[in-house]
Amino acid sequence: MQQVPFLPDQKVQHVKTGGFYRIVCLAKVEATLEDVYVYQALRNMTYWTRPQSEMLDGRFILVNSELS
């Protein structure tokens, strides 16, 4: 079951690893036009991208609406 899309500045948690991340934005891969999320690891502030379909398939859960 797919979730409602995440919004910028929402805090999410990766279910398998327990890591916390901040959603930066939804972007597109230039070569394929696939929708991807840009998100930032709160542990070391690195930026990552992941296909929207993977972000919304239950691997990540919303922790709260906005970071404090």
At CA 30, angle to CA 2 and CA 19, rounded to 5?
45
Question: Is 33 within a domain?
Answer: yes
Question: Is 16 within a domain?
Answer: yes
Domain count, the chain: 1
Question: Is 2 within a domain?
Answer: no
The whole domain housing 59 covers 11-64
Q: How many residues in total does the chain contain?
A: 68
Question: Is 6 within a domain?
Answer: no
Q: What is the pLDDT of residues 8-65, one digit of tens each?
A: 999 999 999 999 999 999 999 999 999 999 999 999 999 999 999 999 999 999 997 5
Question: Residue 41: what residue type?
Answer: A
Give the pairing of strands 11-14 and 60-64: antiparallel
